[in-house]
Structure 1
Amino acid sequence: MQYESWIDRQIREATERGEFDNLPSAGKPLNLDPDEDWWIKAKLAHEDLGALLPGPLMLRREVERIQDTLADVERESVAREVLDDLNARIREYYLRPGPGPQIIVRLVDVEAELDAWRRRH
């Protein structure tokens, strides 16, 4: 006769009741990251916590996703304001760099982005 711990018994009984059947990730491989900070990366991705990024990295993300930002904009004048505001914040970053290494953030080409916006609308 083998000893069954309280935890083992709970797991066995839950399995018998079918509580582990049809779980969302059942049968899928585990996404194991060898990095010791895997849980931080997973939490940031799962919760979309990009707002926790330092200022220049947030600006870079905004530049990368500018067309997504402009997708809901109906008027060209508003789209231009959004682009000009982003460029103003990028210029402000260069005027007042924070501690640590300088991160390069490119300015948005307003006319090129407006052309892309016009093609989508």
Structure 2
Amino acid sequence: MTERKPPGMSFETWVDQQITQAQARGAFEGLTLAGRPLPRRDREQTSYEWALEWARRENGGPDGMLPPGLALRKERDGLPEVVARLPSEGAVRGVVDEFNERVAAHWRRPADRADAVPGMADLDVLLEHWRATRPPAEPEPEPAIMAPEPRRRRRRWFRRRDRG
């Protein structure tokens, strides 16, 4: 964090001092746009577009700005899609247990303002959904029935000798 401007110093002098110190530390070395003008925007942005871009950059989009209870409720509504991509029943149980622990922690926290009350995720319903979205099990390939190799006749010991 930058230090506070000393009293009695003009703002311009203080900013120039901060820039000089940063240059001495090498903070401006190796920047990607060094020596080039800043890229121009294709068009002017409204304040709403700017706010959405900022929210996506800082919080992962408008969903990152939801109150905690509403964010948990929205996550609960998206659990079936998450569960459908999981590889095993144990993974489904782990995701649902972790979500339910976060909901319980949300319930235990002191309420400083009105918030949406998220419900727990139903493990049995999500497991049924997971089982229903599994691709059918591939049948095991049946072993190919091959004709047995014809048995080679063994030559008798008395016929092995070379006659000659």
Mark yes or no: TM-score above 0.5: yes
Shorter-chain TM-score category?
0.5 to 0.7
Q: Deviations over 1:18-66 (max 9, x none)?
A: xxxxxxxxxxxxxxxxxxxx937x938x944312212111101111100
- 1:116 is matched with which residue: 109, 129, 146? 129
State the 4+ residue runs in structure 1 displaced beyond 2 angstroms: 46-49
**CA distance in 1: counterparts of 2:76 and 2:110, whole angstroms:** 18
1:26-65 mapped onto 2 (5 Å cutoff):
39=48, 43=52, 47=56, 48-65=61-78
**CA distance in 2: counterparts of 1:54 and 1:103, whole angstroms:** 8
TM-score (norm 1): 0.59
Partner of 1:96: 109
CA contact (8 A) 2:84 2:129 kept: no
Identity %: 24
Figure out how many residues of one structure are paired with residues of the other and give that number.
Answer: 82
Partner of 1:7: none
- Larger Rg belongs to: 2
RMSD: 2.4
Q: Which has the higher contact order (CA 8 A, sep 6+)?
A: 1
Partner of 2:93: 80
Distance 1:54 1:102, change over 3 A: closer
Structure having the larger proportion of residues in helix: 1
Provide structure 2 residue ranges, at least 5 long, that are not aligned to the other structure.
Answer: 1-46, 135-164
